[in-house]
Amino acid sequence: MAKQIIPDLVLNDALVTANPRLENPRAEAELKALRDLLAPACEKVISAYAEIANHKSAERAFKRFLQNMISAT
C-alpha cells in the first residue's frame, strides 16, 4: 500500500470547510467516501509539484497553471 502523504484530518478539514454539513456524525460515510476520492487527486498534485520544485521557471508555471485553473471554476 502506498504511503499516505496527506493526513485524513487535513482532508476532513478541507471537506468540512467546503461543506459544513459533513461535520454531522450521520455524514461520516459520505465524508469517508469523499476523502477517499479527494486524497489521490491531492497526492497527485503534491507529487507533480515535488517533481518540478527544483526548477524555478517550471515551478512558477505550475503555480500559475493551478491559479488559472482555480479561477476558471
Does residue 52 fall inside a structural domain?
A: yes
Q: What is the domain count for the chain?
A: 1
Does residue 3 fall inside a structural domain?
A: no
pLDDT for residue 4: 82
Does residue 22 fall inside a structural domain?
A: yes
Does residue 1 fall inside a structural domain?
A: no
pTM for the model: 0.81
**Cβ–Cβ < 8 Å for 7, 43:** no
Range of the domain at 62: 8-72
Does residue 26 fall inside a structural domain?
A: yes
Question: 59-71: per-residue pLDDT in tens?
Answer: 999 999 999 999 9
